Amino acid sequence: MSDSQDILVPDIGDFDSVDVIEVLVSPGDTVDVESPLITLESDKATMDVPSPVAGTVTEVRIAVGDQVSQGSLVAVVAATESSAQDTSAQAPAGPKDGAEASEDRPKEEASERTAQAPAQTDAPPQSDSEAPVPKEPNPTPPPAPRPPPSLPPVTESDSGPLPHASPAIRRFARELGADLSKINGSGTHGRILKEDVAQFIKSALSQGRTGGDGSGLPAIPEVDFSRWGPVATEPLSRIKRISGRHLQRAWLNVPHVTHHDEADITELDAFRKTLKDESAYAQVRITLLGFVIKALASAMKAFPTLNASLSPDGENLVLKHYFHIGVAVDTENGLVVPVLRDVDTKGILELATELGALSARARDGKLKPDEMQGGCISISSLGGIGGIGFTPIVNAPEVAILGVSRAQIKPRWDGNAFAPRLILPLDLSYDHRVIDGAEAARISAFIVSALEDSRRLLL
């Protein structure tokens, strides 16, 4: 005996309209509990949606390229009797009536299907002699249907994720010929509103004489590089496409200033190396970055504007009373920024262990959505690669970012002679609307003093 159960997308954090990049099952496949059904890709991580029951897949309602949210229908599984009994106490049975089922699904999903698909006619009634079929009277339309032929085609770029907009806004954009992929939404989670489309059209009309890409700047002319030799074209990774637009937006909107400084970490590095030689700490990879994180957390407490964000109207500061620090991690697909939480309450060893685990998951593309959210400030460390300094871009709405380059042995005057010292370059980029030059210099000096005398981290 089996019981058909709808498998829905579970809670995936503060994400909406996540892309489906892989469908791992087909109708007729047998799955176990926790067997992955589909793979989703958010802005900077991938995640599998597992089956909560064991049984046989009867229907797959998702295709590669679709976008889903919490509660979206993934598949229908004919659960085995034992699996159905195990899950009956944990979740109520799915609705049997087609109208009730449509009410349980997210209203936005139902609305979008209605706008994109032609109306469905009810199936003819069955005779009394026919056996009942466990099937919804109004089956869900196939995913990603084409718009009705009465509407003009959607004007959207195919070189990125689908824009986040309701069916009504998509219809409005079609009527005006607006490319939704070039519009930055001002609604919740970046949702495109009607006002955003209207403003985009006004901006495009005003730029008609000078060109541009929607940013108000003249467009870079297109060049045929093949005239001078062989070329090849390869697409940017999804992470680079998304982060690139975010960085460009931050660079255009935030008045960046970078303050450069150096810290003498000779004694600090000697102390770190003694920890490596002790058996109690042999299993933990203790790096200088852990000490930098603690020094930055101390600076965030001493200078509250460092742990703040500017309100959208630019009139107020949102002061945060928690201390979460994002650390940029280099991966094959680009930089991702997992967030270490409550760093002010954790020691160097705990931070080193947690950072190692987050970095490993980042390189494997297995970070959870909530592990990349809620950062108050970021650190971009190039110490393992090289360089003597750089200008990191502020990760708005944060107001500052600390860059760290490779430490080098340099001569320093000790009052009697030049002595070799290990010097760490530090680069503090900040939003000049929130932090002025004098305060940035004081913040940098505070961080330098904390690194040069690690006892200050205990204060």
The amino acid that residue 88 corresponds to is S
Closest by Cα among 309, 326, 324 to 433? 309
Q: Which residues contact 350 (CB under 8 A, 6 or more apart)?
A: none
Phi, psi for 417 (deg, rounded to 5): -160, 170
Q: Give the DSSP H or E segment for 418.
A: strand 418-431
Closest by Cα among 73, 53, 50, 77 to 63? 73
* Active-site entry in 164, 260, 324, 432: 432
Q: Report CA-CA distances (Å) from 180 to 156, 194, 200, 376.
A: 6, 11, 9, 30
DSSP state of 390: -
The amino acid that residue 165 corresponds to is A
Cα dihedral 342, 343, 346, 352, rounded to 10, equals 130
The amino acid that residue 168 corresponds to is A
Can you tell me the distance from the alpha carbon of 34 to that of 30, in angstroms, rounded to the nearest whole number? Answer: 12
The amino acid that residue 211 corresponds to is G
Q: Which residues contact 223 (CB under 8 A, 6 or more apart)?
A: none
Q: What is the 3-state secondary structure (H, E, C) of 148-216?
A: CCCCCCCCCCCCCCCCCCCHHHHHHHHHHCCCHHHCCCCCHHHCCCHHHHHHHHHHHHHCCCCCCCCCC
Whether the link from the prior residue into 397 is cis, omega within 30° of 0, is yes
The amino acid that residue 191 corresponds to is R
Can you tell me the distance from the alpha carbon of 310 to that of 99, in angstroms, rounded to the nearest whole number? Answer: 46
The amino acid that residue 273 corresponds to is K
Give yes or no: 432 in active site.
yes
Cβ count within 10 A of residue 32: 12
Give me the active site residues, please.
432
